[in-house]
Amino acid sequence: MSVRIRLTRVGAHKQPAYRVVVADSRSARDSRSIETIGHYNPRSEPAEIVIDAERAKAWIAKGAQPSDTVARLLRVAGVIPAAK
């Protein structure tokens, strides 16, 4: 089973908010997830990013691959080092 760390959309119509979840890569975007490790609200100023760093690092150590957007959020949150 290939595991990804990705975003799941929540929130009302035209008011997106996202959960950072660990899910099977074959599952649909908003379907069942293995674990929720944080949330992201792009509508607030500045954007609100809350991620459980320990759980994210543990899943990455187990082989979970973050999506491109989640990798950027993890860098901003300081969970993974910025690329040089």
Task: Band the pLDDT of 83: cuts 50, 70, 90.
Answer: low
* Three-state secondary structure string covering 24-69: ECCCCCCCCCCEEEEEEECCCCCCEEEECHHHHHHHHHCCCEECHH
Span 3-77: which CATH code? 3.30.1320.10
For the segment 2-57, what is each residue's pLDDT rounded down to a tens digit?
899 999 999 999 999 999 999 998 988 888 889 999 999 999 999 999 999 999 99
> What pLDDT is stored for residue 22 in this prediction?
96
Measured between alpha carbons, how far is 29 from 80 in angstroms, rounded to an integer?
Answer: 24
Which pTM does this prediction carry? 0.88
> What pLDDT is stored for residue 54 in this prediction?
94
Q: Would you list the domain boundaries of the chain? A: 3-77
